[in-house]
Amino acid sequence: MIEGVHETSNSERLRAAGLRVTRPRLAVLSAVAAHPHAGADVVLHSVRAELPQVSRQAVYDVLHALTDAGLIRRIQPSGHVARYETRIADNHHHVVCRSCGAVADVNCAIGHAPCLTASETHGFTIDEAEVVYWGLCPDCATRAETSPDADPA
């Protein structure tokens, strides 16, 4: 972590959310920022580079606390592990590769949140829409095109 750069802003973010500033919380925030859409194991590995003695459970607890506080966002595409990101201030969506599981951000479909108009609200006041686009990332699409087993259709 670059001393003073992320640490100060992350400390302020933690305090503003009503959370104590701790080394594990700062390390997890930095890890999630450095590895958008990373699962807990990647976050743990990154945090242990800074805090070698931190436990797996501590990282899971911090991820949960930061998600509850609205400092990070947890996404879980169907059939995949939960992933975390610091991009929380907008109603963006995601695209997921069916082959390798890569995830990328997709800006709001059209307009402002919730980006989509529901055909029926059932009385709800809708303020967010969650969309997951599925397909093949460029690398997997290229491999599929050049694979001898590729479907010619």
CATH assignment of 6-75?
1.10.10.10
Domains 6-75 and 90-146 share a fold: no
Burial 71-90 (b: 16+ CB within 10 A, else e): bbbebebeeeeebbbbeeee
pLDDT reported for residue 64? 98
In the chain, what's the furthest Cα-to-Cα distance?
57
The domain spans of the chain are 6-75, 90-146
Which CATH superfamily includes the segment(s) 90-146? Ferric-uptake regulator, C-terminal dimerisarion domain (3.30.1490.190)
Per-residue pLDDT 10s for the chain (153 aa) are: 444 445 559 999 999 999 999 999 999 999 999 999 999 999 999 999 999 999 999 999 999 999 999 999 999 998 899 999 999 878 788 899 999 999 999 887 665 556 677 778 888 888 877 788 899 999 999 988 887 665 544
d(CA 79, CA 35): 20
Provide the residue type at 61 as one letter.
Answer: D
Residues 48-59 have pLDDT tens digits of 999 999 999 999
- Going by C-alpha positions, the residue among 60, 84, 66, 70 that lies closest to residue 128 is 70
